[in-house]
Amino acid sequence: MRANDGISFDVAPGEICGLLGHNGSGKTTLLNQVIGLVRPTSGEVIVAGHDAVADPHTARRLCSYQPQTHNPIDGITPRQAVRLMARLRGATRREARDRTEELLTALDILPWADRQGSTLSGGVKRLTGFAMTAIRPGRLVMLDEPTNDVDPVRRTLLWQLIRDLADAGCAVLLVTHNVIEAERAVDRLLILDRGAVVAHGTPAQLRGDDADRVRLELLAVDQATAARLAADNGGTVTGRRVMSTVDVGEVSNLIAWAQRQRDRRLIEEFSVAPVSLEDVYVRILGSTGHRPGEPVDDGRRS
Amino acid sequence: MSHWLRSFLLILWWNVLSSRADLPIYFMVQTMLSVGVVTGLGFLLPTASPTEAMYLCTGSMTVSLITVGMVLAPQTVSYRRQSGFLDYQRSLPVPRTALMAADATVWTLLALPGFVLSMIVATLRFGLSYQVSPLVVPAVLLVVVSAVTIGYSIAYLVRPVLVNLITNAVIIVSLLFAPVNFPVERLPDWLAQVHRFLPFQYMAELIRQTVDVPPAGLSAAPFLVLAVWAIAGTAIACRVLSRRD
């Protein structure tokens, strides 16, 4: 079975590139191929001009990697782990100490800085893993689901630090399932399915025609009403909920129509929102399996 | 400081820190095992001749080193493999040999107290006196390095679920079915032949002849055979550590 097939893209310094895709779509395999834990059967991986397949040691020097699993910090404290990683990547003692304090402060995890790794919550472990990766970043920073387990407030801090890495000149390649957050935080997205790129581009490019459409969501009084509304006006039904997309020019008519349905007590509530990237993602991949969409070409290699 | 040495020292520090909580337990179990083998075998052979006593004494010292290198080390590595710790270390810009050396250092330091204690207990139990050669130091290192690298190769190549089975078999073989605690002549011919190709016999010979130098002097054979095992073990372990799936 091919884990990855014909994937070709580049990430520029200063850019955050998000990798989206279902579980098992090949995202982690791709990162492992870059870092030299998995050998691609063919093709090339170039990191800052170096052939990562032929010389994985140089690739590891040029890349910083936060794996999907928790970083192994059992028995050591976040402060020790982050300093150790800085020293392993060539920082002096003083640099390691100062930068560690900066990062732990920026991530707001100082209260846990001297607690044993095994006693930490999943979120603090994940943030420590990020700090271990970002403490002395390589030219390419690869983050595999860095926001998992992290609370909403610290997630915002984390996204800011990821942006800081890019602003400092790192190329950032990041895997996530959180499409909504990715839309706000990344410069460019690649959607993988079964080891192949099925769409890529900026969030706006991926939205494409959907950029001029809005999403109408209705909550019907019962499932039969929901089915009837969907049959009459289009849309998909999930329980009592009906979802459909319409042209943005129709919004005022739409709201008037929805209000009438509410007055007739056919629906309990409704909402109108711009089509999100999550809608696009679901449209491209389908909710259960492969439904390739048209790749959006943004002029880069595809 | 060279990149290798810096990596080695930092990984060594990391390993010591991360297994700090377990090290005292390892130390206790390993020490009890080393002392227990001497006293336990003493129950089996209450009236051992001086030659038999020397075999039991140096044999249990060898078993204490084998336990660390070929039982504790592979079991720990196997756990690290499952937990993702090993892959994380492999993803760092650290030479593979430095990773190996840092681990081997921890295991060597852990093996030494049991080694010395079993010698002391055996001396008290059997009233032995020794003619210790200074070459006992490289001999112990060679036995530990070959045991650890073979242990590592087992841990990397075998599915984790089988590692415990194999390491248990190693202990039973080295205690009862290998010419470690008794002369090779006591084994059936076919088993003696098999042991010509396994490291246990040479490990025991090396420890025996450097702890109590025979009148005829030291033999180079066990040094050479174990050096080959150590080189092969290191090569396989480094190869597997560098392997890309």
Among A268-282, B72-86, B176-190, the minimum mean pLDDT is found in A268-282
What are the tens digits of pLDDT across the range A197-224? 888 888 888 877 677 788 888 999 999 9
B-interface mutation test, from A88, A128, A133, A135, most B Cβ less than 10 A away: A88
Gyration radius (Cα) of chain B, Å: 18
Query: What are the counts of helices (DSSP H) followed by strands (DSSP E) for chain A?
Result: 11, 12
In the numeric block, the tokens 């640099």 are attached to: A95
The pLDDT, as a whole number, for residue A2 is 58
Between the alpha carbon of residue A42 and those of residues A7, A45, A240, A301, B243, the distances in Å are 11, 10, 49, 18, 16
Sign of the dihedral defined by the CA atoms of residues A104, A107, A111, A113, in that order: negative
Tokens at residue A253, please? Answer: 């008519």
A158 found inside a domain: yes
pLDDT at A290 exceeding the cut of 80:
no
A71/B88 Cβ within 8 A: yes
Other C-beta atoms lying within 10 Å of the C-beta of residue A98: 13
Domain shared by A214 and A140, yes or no: no
The pLDDT, as a whole number, for residue A289 is 46
C-alpha distance from A51 to closest chain B C-alpha (Å): 15
Domain shared by A160 and A31, yes or no: yes
Tell me the pTM.
0.81
Please check whether residue B87 touches A, CB under 8 A: yes
Q: Would you tell me which residues 12-41 of chain B have a C-beta closer than 8 angstroms to some C-beta of chain A?
A: 13-14, 17-22
B244/A39 Cβ within 8 A: yes
C-alpha distance from A81 to closest chain B C-alpha (Å): 8
Mean pLDDT of B175-191: 91
A299 found inside a domain: no
Among candidate residues A146, A168, A201, the one where a domain is terminated? A201
In the numeric block, the tokens 């790192």 are attached to: A170
Q: Would you tell me which residues 64-83 of chain B have a C-beta closer than 8 angstroms to some C-beta of chain A?
A: 80, 83
Mean pLDDT of A120-133: 94
Among candidate residues A201, A232, A255, the one where a domain is terminated? A201
B-interface mutation test, from A34, A37, A66, most B Cβ less than 10 A away: A37
Mean pLDDT of A268-294: 69
What are the tens digits of pLDDT across the range A80-106? 999 999 999 999 999 999 999 999 999
Q: Which of A105, A36, A116, A113 is nearest to A76 (CA)?
A: A116
Strand partners, A171: A140
Domain shared by A165 and A33, yes or no: yes
Length of chain B, please? Answer: 245
B92/A72 Cβ within 8 A: no
* Dist CA A58 CA A138 (whole Å): 11
What are the tens digits of pLDDT across the range B58-101? 898 898 889 888 988 898 888 888 888 888 888 899 998 898 88
The structural domains of chain B, with segments of one domain joined by +, span 3-242
The pLDDT, as a whole number, for residue A286 is 64
Please check whether residue B92 touches A, CB under 8 A: yes
A72/B10 Cβ within 8 A: no
Mean pLDDT of A135-150: 93
B150 contacts B64 by C-beta, under 8 angstroms = no
C-alpha distance from B10 to closest chain A C-alpha (Å): 7
Domain shared by A213 and A196, yes or no: no
Sign of the dihedral defined by the CA atoms of residues A120, A123, A124, A125, in that order: positive
Residues in chain B within 8 Å Cβ distance of A120: none
Mean pLDDT of A162-181: 91
A74/B18 Cβ within 8 A: yes
pLDDT at B120 exceeding the cut of 70:
yes
Residues in chain B within 8 Å Cβ distance of A139: none
Domain count, chain A: 2
pLDDT interval class at A3 (50, 70, 90): low
A37/B87 Cβ within 8 A: yes
Check: complex ipTM more than 0.85: no
* Dist CA A44 CA A8 (whole Å): 9
Domain shared by A81 and A216, yes or no: no
Residues in chain A within 8 Å Cβ distance of B20: 75
Q: Is B228 helix (H, G, I), strand (E, B) or coil?
A: helix
Domain shared by A55 and A145, yes or no: yes
A94 found inside a domain: yes
Between the alpha carbon of residue B2 and those of residues A90, A263, A277, B5, B241, the distances in Å are 11, 78, 49, 5, 21
The pLDDT, as a whole number, for residue A263 is 92
Do β-strands A267-274 and A140-144 pair in parallel, antiparallel, or remain unpaired? unpaired
Q: Would you tell me which residues 38-77 of chain A have a C-beta closer than 8 angstroms to some C-beta of chain B?
A: 38-39, 56-57, 60-61, 65, 67, 69-76
Mean pLDDT of A123-147: 94
Residues in chain B within 8 Å Cβ distance of A87: 6, 10
Tokens at residue A41, please? Answer: 């059967």
Please check whether residue B185 touches A, CB under 8 A: no
C-alpha distance from B209 to closest chain A C-alpha (Å): 40
Among candidate residues A201, A234, A253, the one where a domain is terminated? A201
Sign of the dihedral defined by the CA atoms of residues A208, A211, A212, A215, in that order: positive
Do β-strands A236-238 and A241-247 pair in parallel, antiparallel, or remain unpaired? antiparallel
C-alpha distance from A67 to closest chain B C-alpha (Å): 8
Domain shared by A58 and A188, yes or no: yes
Question: What residue numbers bound the domain in which A177 lies?
Answer: 16-201
* Dist CA A99 CA A87 (whole Å): 11
* Dist CA B65 CA B149 (whole Å): 13
Q: Which of A169, A138, A135 is nearest to A57 (CA)?
A: A138
Tokens at residue A65, please? Answer: 């990697």
B82 contacts A72 by C-beta, under 8 angstroms = no
A10 found inside a domain: no
* Dist CA A288 CA B232 (whole Å): 49
Domain shared by A137 and A183, yes or no: yes
Domain shared by A88 and A54, yes or no: yes
- For residues B192 and A180, the model is more confident at B192
C-alpha distance from B207 to closest chain A C-alpha (Å): 35
The pLDDT, as a whole number, for residue B176 is 87
CATH of the domain at A37: 3.40.50.300
CATH of the domain at A268: 3.30.70
In the numeric block, the tokens 């000149």 are attached to: A169
A67/B91 Cβ within 8 A: yes
B18/A75 Cβ within 8 A: yes
pLDDT interval class at B45 (50, 70, 90): confident
Angle value at C-alpha A273, between A269 and A275, nearest 5 degrees: 130
Among A273-282, B24-33, B57-66, the minimum mean pLDDT is found in A273-282
Domain shared by A36 and A112, yes or no: yes
Please check whether residue B10 touches A, CB under 8 A: yes
Average pLDDT, chain A: 85
B181 contacts B157 by C-beta, under 8 angstroms = no
Mean pLDDT of B112-120: 87
The pLDDT, as a whole number, for residue A297 is 35
Secondary structure element (H or E) that encloses residue A215, with its range? strand A213-220
The pLDDT, as a whole number, for residue B97 is 87
Tokens at residue B57, please? Answer: 């004494």
Other C-beta atoms lying within 10 Å of the C-beta of residue A184: 10
Domain shared by A146 and A51, yes or no: yes
What are the tens digits of pLDDT across the range B124-164? 888 888 888 999 999 999 999 999 989 988 888 888 889 98
Secondary structure element (H or E) that encloses residue A142, with its range? strand A140-144
The pLDDT, as a whole number, for residue B1 is 61
Residues in chain A within 8 Å Cβ distance of B14: 76, 84
A61/B10 Cβ within 8 A: no
Q: Which of A217, A222, A290, A199 is nearest to A255 (CA)?
A: A217
In the numeric block, the tokens 């130390």 are attached to: B27
Tokens at residue A288, please? Answer: 């259960």
pLDDT interval class at A293 (50, 70, 90): very low
B93/A89 Cβ within 8 A: yes
B90/A88 Cβ within 8 A: no
